[in-house]
Amino acid sequence: MKAISLLGSTGSIGTQTLDIVTHHPDEFRIVGLASGRNVELLAQQIRQFQPQIVAICDADKLSELKDAIADVEPQPIVLAGEEGVIEVARYADADVVVTGIVGCAGLLPTIAAIEAGKDIALANKETLIAGGPVVLPLIQKHGIKLLPADSEHSAIFQCLQGVPAKGLRRVLLTASGGAFRDLPVEQLSQVTVADALKHPNWSMGRKITIDSATLMNKGLEVIEAHFLFGVDYDQIAIVIHPQSIIHSMIELQDTSVLAQLGWADMRLPLLYALSYPERIYTDWEPLDLVKVGSLTFREPDHQKYPCMQLAYAAGRAGGCMPAVLNAANEQAVALFLDEKIQFLDIPRLIEQTCDRYHSQNRSTPTLDDILEADRWARQEVLTATSPSMLPVG
Ligand code: MG
């Protein structure tokens, strides 16, 4: 039985992971839970899964959490703050850590888990995008497995099983096209937060759903694929596939193409990341291609969605630039969700921030370089959008 520490337990990835654990009690058990600030749901999860260690990232909620689980026996170790999340990530009894934390906030806990020798089910792409140059050597050094839980990367990983090292020619990332795929480009300037949060196929958290609407999610996944599979940017292509049935494909040296198919259900890549290399029986609805009817494909529209090209450019620049791109995106998306900026300000702010980043962009940055680039880019976006920067009159 695999023992799991789950980071981000009350979010979309967290609750879907717990659904898997609930239905496969002979395969998985929860030893650690960490969440942001949702005390009520975390307390309920503690009662149900009886972890040995828990953490709430918002330290102001610690006493509320302790009160909410005062009658739970046996009491878990209860911690707070980023330090607490890191303790859950490296907890001795865990075999695998599921990283469901949103954004670059997942970087330090993930590094702590790798250094403690844990396998990682990676549901936090920002960690690898910002921290790739630091995270990859650590994975080598500690000999752990980094198992992708992102649906596209899980698909590529599944297709790669049995492919010899030099057999891969290209990666073909599929994209649903996001909330505005059928909206004329002229109308993008007027879309609201509520519009952007309506994803046509996938049920996911708020940040990633906005990233899907701008197609930055696909751009970030290009960088993620580069780090995970060691493919050059020229070998990674994006194809729009509105049905989200093919989760991605690989093209081999002989032009043969392998694809992984399934319903758009995040539990499937999560389960494979947890069960790898085994295949576990589930009672989920099997894919019915007759019911799907047709699978269609089209070119991505780079005029309408500049974020993809921004991500390719940042990936090719290397060093800290992917961290700058990622941080600018996180900050811009947060401002959009707070209704402080417009939808089209998101790519504009990211491009402006990447253009202004001229710091010594070393090809092998340290963790401190990456954290500093992340901090700088967030501040850059905040400064560019502060009221004093807006045109007068
Ligand atoms: Mg994905």
Going from the Cα of 152 to the center of ligand 1, the distance in angstroms, rounded, reads 5
What rounded mean pLDDT belongs to the chain? 95
Instruction: Please report which confidence band the pLDDT of residue 390 belongs to, taking 50, 70 and 90 as the band edges.
Output: low
Among residues 160, 164, 34, 158, which one has the least CA distance to residue 106? 34
- What local confidence, expressed as pLDDT, does residue 321 receive? 97
Among residues 204, 207, 206, 9, which one has the least CA distance to residue 89? 9
CA 157, 162, 165, 171 torsion-angle sign: negative
pTM beyond 0.75: yes
**Is residue 256 over pLDDT 90?**
yes
Among residues 360, 362, 326, 365, which one has the least CA distance to residue 346? 326
Going from the Cα of 221 to the center of ligand 1, the distance in angstroms, rounded, reads 7
Going from the Cα of 220 to the center of ligand 1, the distance in angstroms, rounded, reads 9
> Residue 121: beta bridge partners?
98, 147
Going from the Cα of 207 to the center of ligand 1, the distance in angstroms, rounded, reads 12
Going from the Cα of 141 to the center of ligand 1, the distance in angstroms, rounded, reads 27
- What local confidence, expressed as pLDDT, does residue 393 receive? 45
Going from the Cα of 217 to the center of ligand 1, the distance in angstroms, rounded, reads 7
* Rounded Cα distance, 255 and 204, in Å: 34
Going from the Cα of 150 to the center of ligand 1, the distance in angstroms, rounded, reads 5
Going from the Cα of 31 to the center of ligand 1, the distance in angstroms, rounded, reads 27
Going from the Cα of 121 to the center of ligand 1, the distance in angstroms, rounded, reads 14
Question: What are 295-339's pLDDT values in tens digits?
Answer: 999 999 999 999 999 999 999 999 999 999 999 999 999 999 999
CA 84, 89, 92, 94 torsion-angle sign: positive
DSSP 297-319: -B---TTT-THHHHHHHHHHH-T
Going from the Cα of 175 to the center of ligand 1, the distance in angstroms, rounded, reads 8
Among residues 106, 32, 39, which one has the least CA distance to residue 66? 39
